[in-house]
Homo-oligomer: A and B are copies of this chain.
C-alpha cells in the first residue's frame, strides 16, 4: 500500500542497505538487486531514486563522510585545548559508531573504488583534507608548523592503518585499544619534544627533523 512522502524514507533505507551489503561482501561488488532486497524494495526503485549504481554508491559515501564530519564537529566543539582537539579527532575516528565493522568495510571498499572513480576520489580528498586541518588545528599551537605537518601525516596514517587491520578482523577488533595506540604516539611525541626542549635549550627534534630548526615554537 503505497504512501506519499516515501522518498526520504527509501533513500535512507537504500543507503543503509548499501552500507550493510558492502560491509558483508567486503567490497563494492554488490548487486543493485541485493541492496534493494535488503531495503525491502525492487531494484527498479533504487534506480528510480538514485539514477544508477554509481550514484547510489556515491550517495552512500557522502553519507559516511557527512556522518563522520558531523561527529567531528560535535567533538571538536567540546575540546577546550589544542591537545584536547587532537584527542577529539582520534576519539571520533575510533568511536563505537565509526568503528563498526560494516562502516569500516565500507570505508576500505571506498578507498579502493576511489582508484576508478574520479568523483569518489574527490570526495575522499575532501575527507583527507578535513582530517588534516582538524589535526593541524590542534597541533600547530603545540609545535613548529613543519613538525605539525609531519605529525598530522603520521596520525592520519595510523588511523587508516588501524582501520585496515580492523577490516581484516585479525587482532585488533577493539576500538579502545586502537585509539590508545594513536594516543600513545601523540603523547610520546609531545613529551619527547618537551624533554628535548627542557634538557638544555637545545631544539627539540621534531618528526623527520630538518637540519636547521633554530627558532622555537612557543606554546
A residues with a Cβ closer than 8 A to B are 25-27, 29, 105, 108-109, 111-116, 121, 124-125, 128, 150, 153-154, 156-165, 167-168, 170-172, 177, 180-181, 183-185, 188-189, 191-192, 195, 207-208
Give the docked Cα–Cα distance between A115 and B113 (Å): 15
Are A128 and B171 in contact, CB atoms less than 8 angstroms apart? Answer: yes
Contact among B108, B115, B157 with A105 in the assembled complex (CB-CB below 8 Å): B115
Q: Which residues on B sit within 8 Å (CB–CB) of A121?
A: 168
What are 7 A-B contacts defined by CB distance under 8 Å? A27-B112, A109-B112, A128-B168, A128-B170, A150-B184, A157-B158, A157-B164
For residue A126, give the distance in angstroms from its CB to the closest CB of chain B.
Answer: 11
Give the docked Cα–Cα distance between A195 and B171 (Å): 30
Give the docked Cα–Cα distance between A202 and B208 (Å): 28
Give the docked Cα–Cα distance between A160 and B170 (Å): 14
Are B164 and A160 in contact, CB atoms less than 8 angstroms apart? Answer: yes
Contact among B25, B115, B150, B180 with A27 in the assembled complex (CB-CB below 8 Å): B115
Q: Which residues on B sit within 8 Å (CB–CB) of A124?
A: 168, 170
Are A157 and B168 in contact, CB atoms less than 8 angstroms apart? Answer: no
For residue A173, give the distance in angstroms from its CB to the closest CB of chain B.
Answer: 12
For residue A101, give the distance in angstroms from its CB to the closest CB of chain B.
Answer: 10
Contacts A108-B112, A208-B177 given; does A164 touch B164 at CB 8 Å: yes
Q: Which residues on B sit within 8 Å (CB–CB) of A189?
A: 188
Please give me the residue from chain B that is nearest to A132 by CB atom: B171
Give the docked Cα–Cα distance between A195 and B188 (Å): 11
Are B168 and A114 in contact, CB atoms less than 8 angstroms apart? Answer: yes
Please give me the residue from chain B that is nearest to A164 by CB atom: B160
For residue A56, give the distance in angstroms from its CB to the closest CB of chain B.
Answer: 17
Q: Which residues on B sit within 8 Å (CB–CB) of A192?
A: 188, 191-192, 195
Q: Which residues on B sit within 8 Å (CB–CB) of A125?
A: 168, 170
The CB with the most chain B CB atoms within 10 A, among A150, A153, A183, is that of: A153
Give the docked Cα–Cα distance between A14 and B123 (Å): 34
List the 4 closest pairs (A to B, CB-CB), nearest first.
A26-B115, A161-B161, A157-B161, A160-B161
